[in-house]
Amino acid sequence: MNLKESYCRGPESDNLLNITIAEAFDSTVEQDPNALALVVDHQGVRLNYRQYQDKINQLAVGLLSLGIGSGDRVGIWSPNCLEWCLTQFATAKIGAVLVCINPAYRSHELAYALNKVECKALVSAEQFKGSQYLDILKTLAPELDSCAPGKLESEKLPHLKTLLRLGDGTTPGFFNFDDFCHEASPEQLAQLADVQASLNCEDAINIQFTSGTTGNPKGATLSHYNVLNNGKFVGDGMRLGPKDKLCIPVPLYHCFGMVMGNLACITHGSAAVFPSEGFDPEATLRVVSEQKCTALHGVPTMFIAELDHPSFKQFDLSSLRTGIMAGASCPIELMNRIIEKMHMKDVLIAYGQTETSPVNHMTSHTDAIEKRVASVGRPGPHLEIKLVDSAGEIVAAGEKGEICVRGYAVMQGYWNDSQQTEETIDTDGWLHSGDLGIMDSQGYTEVVGRIKDMIIRGGENIYPREVEEFLYSHPAIKEVQVFSVPEEKFGEQVCAWIELNDHSEADAEAIKNYCRDKISYFKIPQHIRFVSEFPMTVTGKLQKYKMREAMIEDLQSAQ
């Protein structure tokens, strides 16, 4: 391959699956019903594929008995747990659209999400990390105190009728989740089979809310076809098989957990292993060791937390072979530590966005380490990638351009938002990511930042990723994030937040001196803050807009 233009197609040797999630799951069960399917360590759950199928069918029948059917939106607001997994597959069995609610949402965000997609039912945990979910729901819908379960008529949540709560307690207006997980009768299973047979793989099956760093979150609408094939190809990249156990410490509400985790497993007969309800580095290390996991997912900050854990050396991780690192760039030092100390010689880098189900680029286990840190790999199977300039023209190989994606993984659109959909997916079916990249002559793409994150200082274009990569070469720096802050003279100025390695010392002047004569003067951070942590989403994505807001406030206070 010797590309002249920044355009590349992924391989097409493997056929796309034209089946529903339920058909794929049931096919895997029939191949080996006794194979290990699911371990939820913090709940003491261990199921083989037949047991898993039985529990899913029980819940699916229970949802049908509540009048929930194909096309109805069913929200789930919960950390990782058995019930989350059951709900994912039970809704797919009956054609209901699973709406993933961020566990970190508060009342305003929750109400917006439920109303935006007109959720008919909601599965809710009791609480998570200090957020009392049931209390928040009762505040939004005080009518729950006086209504029968399944009969909610709420002023603020007009479409929501049925709520199922997790746990053993009872709450007015709520059904208990476990009450709908009893053995199904032959007649009920026959009805379920009829419903399942009526579904089409092109049907919408999942709504994932984007992070909403600007404006309200948008509901990316994904089909069986979108997410099932994406999960399958991610599993292919990891070379998963029936003997593999994939440890999933990333959240299920996000595509990383439910697609790259659960769907990658069920399309390969592998076991999904959940160490805790939210990320806990020690629990993750312990479960990998005890369960002899062969694969591990995470974002770079998760791997750093595991590697730096005081008890790291106590755990035997020699069973690990592969896994996916995504969500942020990976410094080569971190990649080397993961391979050497965690035995993950085949660890892969994946890149994409919610709107592409989510993976559109991935490295291969045969790629050199340099390719796995300097790029996000090549286009995934059955996908086209092009990089374009501001006029929409494909740029030459080696030049910066916006990453655009076309193919099976592109979402159906944003739910009930045709304007935003048309602004994101053009008339030729290309999804415009908003990310800037550079494609080399072999089709490998390097992501250099977001278009909106580009810093324009005195007319000079500065890409934060480039400055970050340079600063990572400083021996004292553990983590760094670069972004812009407004300045009257130059328009924008470069700012860096830096976390130092343990037992390392450096001040702002030392960092600036390190930069001088190595990078252009205008790229050297004018403002530097040393921090012990960074604001981030529950999926581990760093929130530069929050850093920018805090820095602007500090600079204004100092004037």
H/E/C letters for each residue in 441-504? CCCCEEEEEEHHHCEEECCEEECHHHHHHHHCCCCCEEEEEEEEEEECCCEEEEEEEEEECCCC
Quote the CA–CA distance of 68 and 46 in Å, as a whole number. 28
- Sorted by sequence, the CB contacts under 8 Å of residue 19 that are 6+ apart come out as 27, 201, 224, 228
Among 346, 381, 377, 26, which residue's Cα sits nearest to residue 233?
A: 381
Torsion angles phi and psi, residue 455, rounded to 5: -95, 130
d(Cα 66, Cα 83) in Å, to the nearest integer? 17
3-state secondary structure of 338: helix
Q: Does domain 21-33+44-209 fall into CATH 3.40.50.12780?
A: yes
C-alpha 480: how far from chain center:
22
Q: Delimit the domains of the chain by residue range.
A: 21-33+44-209, 454-558
Out of 3.30.300.30, 3.30.300.250, 3.90.1150.10, 3.60.9.10, the CATH code matching 454-558 is 3.30.300.30
Per-residue pLDDT, 140: 96
pLDDT at 401: 96
Which residues, 6+ apart, have CB-to-CB distance to 101 below 8 Å? 75, 76, 77, 110, 113, 114, 122, 209, 253
Taking residue 91's Cβ as centre, other Cβ atoms within 10 Å add up to 28
Tokens 């049908």 -> residue = 64
Taking a C-beta distance cutoff of 8 angstroms, is the pair 353, 254 a contact? no
- For residue 337, what are its two tokens? 């530590």
Q: How far is CA 515 from CA 78, 232, 497, in A?
A: 45, 44, 15
Alpha-carbon distance of 350 to 379, in angstroms, equals: 10
Preceding amide of 186 cis, omega within 30: no
174: left (phi over 0), alpha (psi -120 to 50) or beta: beta
Instruction: Specify the pLDDT at position 353.
Output: 93
pLDDT at 215: 55
- Calculate ∠ Cα 101-104-110, nearest 5°: 50
143: which DSSP letter? G
Q: Report the pLDDT value the prediction gives residue 539, as an integer from 0 to 100.
A: 66
Q: Is 360 helix (H, G, I), strand (E, B) or coil?
A: strand
Strands ordered across the beta sheet of 348-352: 324-325, 348-352, 359-362, 378-379
The position carrying tokens 């190595």 is 518
Torsion of CA 23, 28, 33, 35, to 10 degrees: -150
The pLDDT score that the predictor gives to residue 327 is 77
Q: What is the pLDDT of residue 319?
A: 98
Rounded mean pLDDT for each run of 10 residues along the chain, 559 residues in total: 96 95 98 98 98 98 97 98 98 98 87 96 95 95 98 98 97 97 94 98 96 67 98 98 98 96 98 98 98 96 93 98 88 92 97 96 95 94 97 97 98 96 96 95 91 80 84 94 89 94 94 89 93 84 89 91
